[in-house]
Structure 1
Amino acid sequence: MALRPVHVIVKALDSSAVGRFWAEALGWTAYSPGVGTYVGPSGGLVWPHPLAVGIDVVPVPEPRTTTKNRVHLDLATTSAAHQAELVERVRALGATPVDVGQGEVPWTVLADPEGNEFCVLEPREVYRDTGPIAAVVIDCVDPRAMARFWGEAMDWTLHEVADDHATLRSADGVGPYLEFLRTPGVKTVPDRVHLDLLPYPGDDREAEVARLRALGAADLDVGQGDVPWTCLTDPEGHEFCVLAPH
């Protein structure tokens, strides 16, 4: 029994506009299979995608608070010229510079049109084959504990763990990394960005949810009502959902 991350949820007042932004930023396609906008590799909607972790932009009525998200995306680049071009391109699409206390760093911190932070990284060899999304990054207090929980929750492989960071990636060595960074402060408000996990065909969602609760997950009521997925939080309060098997 195991789960796999299939997309990153981004909540937005204008899901179509934010979806178009991310499609243009990543060089992917914005699809509209329902009320939200799904952003995935071009060539037709494939879900779950065997290589990529997509972005599902869902409409919500509440505006974003000014509190920094505890989950963000890092975008990969292949050269200094590519990094500069990508920064210029996303700024033309509506991204804005953000100061989160990063100081002098070789990457660029920006926010999408609704204020969700992301980073355009300088070229790094480790991300040469991830595709446009290098990593899904989660701020946390204890990366080792997060690595234990998420390593048990998913079928991804633990690549690195230390007191200040931990990294996992698909056992097939494809797509983005999932990274946990030790960050001052604790989670205080619901995030606008979170992961959705999917059981494999034939696996039982309720059994998976029970397994996650035993690992330290807690139930979460966000007013979702009767839906075919289960909302949970990890031991540090980061929201995520377990979808019905596909």
Structure 2
Amino acid sequence: MSAARFKDLALDALDHKALADWWCTAMGYERVPPADGAADRPGNWPVPIRDPAGRGPLIWFNPVSEPKTVKNRMHLDVFGDPDALLSLGATLVRRRSDGIEWDILADPEGNEFCVFAPRP
């Protein structure tokens, strides 16, 4: 038996609601509505998003008061179109090249993520 099993992903963000919405647009996710039926969570609460098809992990966006300042130690890998993500507001960190089959982009708050070509 293992000591742990995967549950969710969590990202810290200065504007956690805006970043959650950006990732919803980028990946076709949706915000998880509050369990109590309220229209929205209190402003200082984390925002969870989910894959409506149920294939991807639940991702939480946690409010923090400090900006990202160093390279991520952990990051997301996604299948997608880097140019489409750039048009949504991502920034290019590094294009794929000989021997490296993924692009590295950063979301609007600077969190790096790798973009792989979609599989057929």
What amino acid maps onto 2:74 in structure 1? V
Q: Tell me the TM-score normalized by structure 1.
A: 0.40
Query: 1:100-149: CA deviations, max 9, x gaps?
Result: 9x75432111000000000111245xxx7xxxxxxxxxxxxxxxxxxxxx
Q: Deviation per CA, 1:167-225: give whole Å up to 9, x if none.
A: xxxxxxxxxxxxxxxxxxxxxxxxxxxxxxxxxxxxxxxxxxxxxxxxxxxxxxxxxxx
Percent of aligned positions that are identical:
38
1:69 maps to what in 2? Answer: 72
1:23 aligns with 2:11: no
Contact 1:108 1:119 in 2 (8 A): yes
Change (3 A) 1:32 1:59: farther
Unaligned runs of 5+ in 2: 35-40
Q: Which residue is 2:93 aligned to? A: 98
Deviations 1:41-61 (A, max 9, x none): 127xxxxx7x53221001001
> What secondary structure does 2:75 align onto?
strand
Distance across 1 between alignment mates of 2:30 and 2:78: 16
Take 1:93 and 1:4, find their aligned partners in 2: how far apart are those partners? 33
Distance 1:122 1:52, change over 3 A: closer
Gaps of 5+ in 1: 44-48, 77-82, 129-246
Structure whose residues are more often helix by fraction: 1
Q: How many angstroms does 1:30 deviate by? A: 2.1
For the 8 Å contact 1:72–1:118, the answer to whether it is kept is yes
Q: Distance in 2 between matches of 1:32 and 1:14?
A: 18
| Structure-1 residue corresponding to 2:51 | 41
**Separation in structure 1 between the aligned mates of residue 66 and residue 84 of structure 2, nearest angstrom:** 28
Q: TM-score, normalised by structure 2?
A: 0.76
1:116 aligns with 2:111: yes
- For 1:117 and 1:90, the matched residues in 2 are separated by 12
Are the equivalent residues in 1 in contact too, given 2:94–2:103 (CA < 8 A)? no
Structure 1 residue runs of 4+, over 6 Å off?
none
Question: Between Structure 1 and Structure 2, whose CA radius of gyration is higher?
Answer: 1
Residue-by-residue CA offset, 1:61-90 (whole Å, 9 max, x unaligned)? 11111x2101001102xxxxxx4xx22222
What residue identity is the alignment partner of 2:102? Answer: W
Matches within 5 A, 1:132-143: none
Query: How far apart, in 2, do the equivalents of 1:106 and 1:74 lie?
Result: 12
- The residue identity in structure 2 corresponding to 1:11 is D
In 2, distance between residues paired with 1:39 and 1:98? 25
In the other structure, the counterpart of 2:13 is 12
Q: Distance in 1 between matches of 2:32 and 2:21?
A: 9
